[in-house]
Amino acid sequence: MITSQSDFIDVRGVRLHVRRWGHRDAPALFMLHGWMDVAASFQFVVDALGDNWQVIAPDGRGFGLSGWPVAAQGGGSYWFPDYVADLDALLDHYAPSGEVNLVGHSMGANIVCLYAGVRPERVRRVVDLEGFGLAPGKASQAPKRLRGWLDELREPPQLRGYASLDDVAARLIKTNPRLAPSRARFLAAHWSKPDGNGGHMLLADPAHKLRGPSLYRLDEVMAVWSQVQAKVLHIEAAGSPTLASIAGDIPLDEFKARFSAFPNWREKIIDDAGHMVHHDQPEQVAALIDGFCA
């Protein structure tokens, strides 16, 4: 297993934890994890990549070892543009000039795809792991959505605790039955910490569970995607349950038509994998990243 090092960088009032693997003089891959996940989630892909790359992966604000915004600690919301701004600041720190290679999973994929559209001159390649966006919002949904957000602020959500690290690992396996016990144990150790009472708590701000008041504006997202100059590789699990869940009643072909907004987009389907495709088939994912970004 390739060992990572940790950096802590202050970005707009939040101390972000950044995990780095590989040699500093190797070409860089910037990797962004998904919702309720951490940077260590990429460990298995990093091991499969070997020594060819330097991988730089932050814990998103409010996740892992990164700090929580002060407003969020009182039950506030995490705004999606903040994640894009954090990436912009981290790239200024680690790669202040030139083009970069971006890899994102799920929420992280949505972040890197947006960034590639608003800073097209900064991005060379984008690898999108199971990033689909959301179902398009409708104006008629706005009153209920805003009311629901206000109601949730009165009683902010909480994250459940776990009796032991083994219980955390079991929870990960329940979510992803393909996950090997050894990998689940590794992830559990980075996904949680001792709570001081003999149990374990997740390394995430419960405010992430709040459903924000803003609707998903697909037309705006596609307008940003249309500005991407980099080549984009979309990697998807065969029969992706996450895609089906997000699409809902929308036919999959119709839902995925949104990807036509990217000027240079291609797709790779991976068998025997679920949403956590980088856990289920890290060797295949690493080979695709290596070949696409080399």
At residue 73, what is the residue type?
Answer: Q
| Residue 53 burial (C-beta neighbours within 10 Å; 0-12, 13-18, 19+) | buried
- For residues 280 and 282, give the distance between their C-alpha atoms in angstroms, rounded to a whole number: 6
CATH number of 5-137+217-293: 3.40.50.1820
At 70 the pLDDT is 77
Tokens of 8: 């802590």
Q: What is the pLDDT of residue 156?
A: 85
Are 102 and 112 a contacting pair, CB within 8 Å?
A: yes
- pLDDT value of position 73: 58
pLDDT tens for the chain, 294 residues long, are 999 999 999 999 999 999 999 999 999 999 999 999 999 999 999 999 998 899 999 999 999 999 998 765 555 678 899 999 999 999 999 999 999 999 999 999 999 999 999 999 999 999 999 999 999 999 999 999 999 999 988 988 899 999 999 999 999 999 999 999 999 999 999 999 999 999 999 999 999 998 889 999 999 999 999 999 999 999 999 999 999 999 999 999 999 999 999 999 999 999 999 999 999 999 999 999 999 999
